[in-house]
A and B are shown apart, each in its own frame.
Chain A
């Protein structure tokens, strides 16, 4: 079983729509959670950290449910530039490094 599981997609979404991604994690000792964004053939870049209380950054809202071991990302008013792969990431509970999901591929269509 993968430590962090995501639906790989692709999600094809019209510009302006709202889209939501989810991921689950198996290591209950994980302490921190993040969403990273990765463009084709580029490095991952931190989009936002995820907190149990939920947090928002502009059009992006992230939520963590520790009881269900579930993380979500909501993108409102999607833009063409939001097209990318979104990586669900955890940290802690073992190795020092980040634990990545395989990513969810999002395509925003004009």
Chain B
């Protein structure tokens, strides 16, 4: 079974540019999460989709970040315009359910560098 995949693995952009990150969850997983780790800090939750609906976006830092999951399959996270403090590793995770037995499987992450 294929795991969570993310694209690209690395992205280097200049301040003010736009970047779109993509996440493909494990097939059949309705729950999809985005997280971010900036240098020296802990991994932080950004948002949660159940199918195509945003269930919780309390962790999104500001309105420069837009996440979508059209059709309830893959998800994109767009940063526009990017700022220096957006640099970090963006992880996507998926889970089958949100019950007590759930497990979140993480993708390899996208390392974003804003210069």
* A-binding residues in B (CB < 8 A): 33, 35, 41-48, 55-56, 58-59, 91, 98, 100, 103-109
Contact = CB atoms under 8 A, between A and B. Distances in A.
Interface string A94-110: 11111111110000000
A80 interface: no
Given A97-B33, A97-B45, A32 B100 contact: yes
Interface string A76-102: 000000000001000000111111111
A57 interface: no
Given A44-B91, A102-B42, A96 B56 contact: yes
Q: How large is the interface on A (under 10, 10 to 19, 20 to 34, 35 or more residues)?
A: 10 to 19
A60 to B, nearest CB: 16
A97 B42 contact: no
Interface of A: 2, 4, 32, 42-46, 87, 94-103
B56 A43 contact: no
Contacts of A32: 100
B45 A95 contact: yes
A41 to B, nearest CB: 8
Given A95-B58, A97-B33, A97-B56, A44 B43 contact: yes
A98 B46 CA distance: 10
A65 to B, nearest CB: 19
B98 A96 contact: yes
